[in-house]
Structure 1
Amino acid sequence: MIQTETSAPALHSIAVTVNGTRYSREVEPRQLLVYFIREQLGLTGTHVGCDTSQCGACTILLNGTAVKACTILAVQADGADIKTIEGFAEANGKLHPIQQAFWEEHGLQCGFCTPGMVIAIDQLLRDNPKPSEAEVRRGLDGNLCRCTGYQNIVKAALSASKKISGEEPFEKPDVLTAEPATAGAH
């Protein structure tokens, strides 16, 4: 019997900037970016829902464009600027306008899809600062929610548009001390 040596796949060095912090790591060539973000960087806000690019729970900003991190190898992101959901709230705990709108409009229930939804809405509002309801719904294509029926997510996107443009007040509540919205307020 002939014995052959098996070895682990060669590791590749990559360097990425995630939420403003530079990271250099060794990765297997087949490691998906979503697992790199979650396992090597410990940023678990980027969720793994399907591993087949169907649900959008793993959506991140890669060089300013919303992409599904389960469709990209970590080695393909070498040199990239990445923003995950953890990069949206300010360091002092103040909410981003989209996050505040989700909170105010009850745009989440279980919250599993929320990181991907927030990032998809961010992309939408940068491309189209004043979308119609139909444009918001189209902008959310590829992001699935099993809980909400999308109506409050759409309301949150429209509210965020107004907050960002200055049409609606934006007070930036502190996520650590903010009181939840009262039931029946909307």
Structure 2
Amino acid sequence: MTDRQLIVLTVNGTEHEVLAEPRRTLLDVLRHELFLTGTHSGCEHGVCGACTVLVDGEPVRACLMFAVQAENSEIRTVESLGSGGEPSDLQQAFGEHHALQCGFCTPGFLMLAEGFLAQRPDADRAEIREAVSANLCRCTGYQTIVDAIASTAARRRGAVTEEETTP
């Protein structure tokens, strides 16, 4: 028999009480208990980044973190982006720059970028490229992802130039 314990997770600003086995990953709890399926399960080894969420503002591989480890933390998933059914500026930039194709890796890239831009709002393209190298995409070749993130960074700084926003 497996012992389950009651944990309280704050996800996208809402507290959730979850009865979970200590060995359950944050990814499993988000998808199967809280039904937040935007966080994707890819490799389940922390390599691909499809399951990236923000935990206390830091990008984290949800497949490598136990749900019990996330208690008393602020967790953000891709569902937290945008408002009122409208996409966030970052999501819009991904569309404008064609930074997605099949879309499987997109939620992980969005959350990685959201956390990165919160810490490095003035990042240059080389720093963005280095940051996104942590996640895997099999379709886009990364350039459009870098373009979308650079465009969002420029817009958030109020330093929008035609070169940074034109796909």
TM-score of the alignment, normalized to the shorter chain, above 0.5: yes
For 1:63 and 1:131, locate their aligned partners in 2 and report how far apart those are by CA, in whole Å.
Answer: 20
Match 1:159 to one of 139, 151, 158 = 151
- Describe how 1:20-59 pairs up with structure 2 within 5 A: 20-59=13-52
Q: Alpha carbon RMSD of aligned pairs, Å? A: 1.4
State the 4+ residue runs in structure 1 displaced beyond 3 angstroms: none
5+ residue gaps, structure 1, are: 1-7, 170-184
For 1:130 and 1:58, locate their aligned partners in 2 and report how far apart those are by CA, in whole Å.
Answer: 26
Match 1:110 to one of 102, 117, 121 = 102
For 1:63 and 1:124, locate their aligned partners in 2 and report how far apart those are by CA, in whole Å.
Answer: 13
- Secondary structure at the counterpart of residue 63 of structure 2: helix
**Greater helix proportion:** 2
AA aligned to 1:98 is L
AA aligned to 1:37 is L
Contact 1:14 1:79 in 2 (8 A): no
- Secondary structure at the counterpart of residue 16 of structure 2: strand
Give, in angstroms, the shift of residue 130 of structure 1.
2.0
Give, in angstroms, the shift of residue 114 of structure 1.
0.5
Superposed CA deviations along residues 20-67 of structure 1, whole A, max 9, x for unmatched, are 111001001110110100000000000000000000000000111110
Under a length normalisation based on structure 1, what TM-score does the superposition of the two structures give? 0.84
1:93 and 2:93 equivalent? Answer: no
5+ residue gaps, structure 2, are: none
Under a length normalisation based on structure 2, what TM-score does the superposition of the two structures give? 0.93
Greater Cα radius of gyration, structure 1 or 2: 1
Give, in angstroms, the shift of residue 94 of structure 1.
1.9
For 2:20 and 2:72, locate their aligned partners in 1 and report how far apart those are by CA, in whole Å.
Answer: 14
Give, in angstroms, the shift of residue 167 of structure 1.
2.6
Amino-acid identity (%): 44
For 1:76 and 1:124, locate their aligned partners in 2 and report how far apart those are by CA, in whole Å.
Answer: 22
Residue 8 of structure 2: aligned partner? 15
Superposed CA deviations along residues 140-181 of structure 1, whole A, max 9, x for unmatched, are 122000000001001001111012112339xxxxxxxxxxxx
